[in-house]
Amino acid sequence: MEDGKWDIQEIKQIKKNLLIKNTLFMLLFIVIIGFYIELGGSLTFLIGFCCAVLWILVVNMIYTIWTKKVIGNRAMQKDLDFKIYRHGKRSWKIKAIIGLIFIVVLSTGSTILFFQWDLEALNIDFPQNTISLFFVWLFYNIGEIRRIKKLDEYDEDVSSESIHH
């Protein structure tokens, strides 16, 4: 979209809906992991599955950076288009590549540890040892809520620019 034609309220609604969907997905993921561990599931399988998911995320991020398209629905694409517009193509790409590097390092480290550790010797107590997943979920939500609230500042900047020009 061209300058000044973004409906910030619509973008905020899209971001809120995506936040709710992502939050529910992460909560479901944590619950499924909890049940799997409590039912005596294989830790090797669980860690291997998480490594595979991380590598799929890496491929998805590479595709998004390369094509500037998202695998998902129109709301996700509109959110990406707004991010690219707001930050500029170059700045968005730099931020996306930094995120990609972080995920590649995490995926590589997880995969190396997966093949090096004797995972069956580890003992996981579900509620206590998964507190870190809760904190990831919590801080992700806090960060997204802050970014959504910052859109009000962006809306004021755009409307004041259009008034003065």
Q: What is the mean pLDDT of residues 151-160?
A: 66
Residue 76 domain-assigned (yes or no):
yes
Alpha helices (H) along the chain? 8-38, 43-67, 74-87, 89-116, 126-129, 131-164
Higher pLDDT, 146 or 123: 146
CA distance 108 to 43: 18
Residue 159 in any domain: the answer is: no
Is residue 162 in some structural domain? no
C-beta of residue 75 within 8 angstroms of C-beta of residue 14: yes
Q: Across 3-7, 26-30, 61-65, which has the greatest mean pLDDT?
A: 61-65
pLDDT at residue 57 tops 70: yes
Kindly report the average pLDDT of the chain as a whole number.
85
Q: Is residue 157 part of a domain?
A: no
- CA torsion, points 127, 118, 46, 18, in degrees to nearest 10? 70
For residues 62-82, average pLDDT: 94
**Residue 33 belongs to a domain:** yes
Domain span holding position 71: 9-118+126-152
Is residue 164 assigned to a domain?
A: no
Name the domain count of the chain: 1
- Express each pLDDT in 86-134 by its tens digit: 889 999 999 999 999 999 999 999 999 888 887 776 666 666 667 787 8
Assess if residue 130 is contained within a domain.
yes
Render pLDDT for 92-102 as a digit per residue (tens, 0 to 9): 999 999 999 99
CA distance 128 to 73: 36
Contact present, 80 and 64 (Cβ < 8 Å): yes
Residue 1 located in a structural domain: no
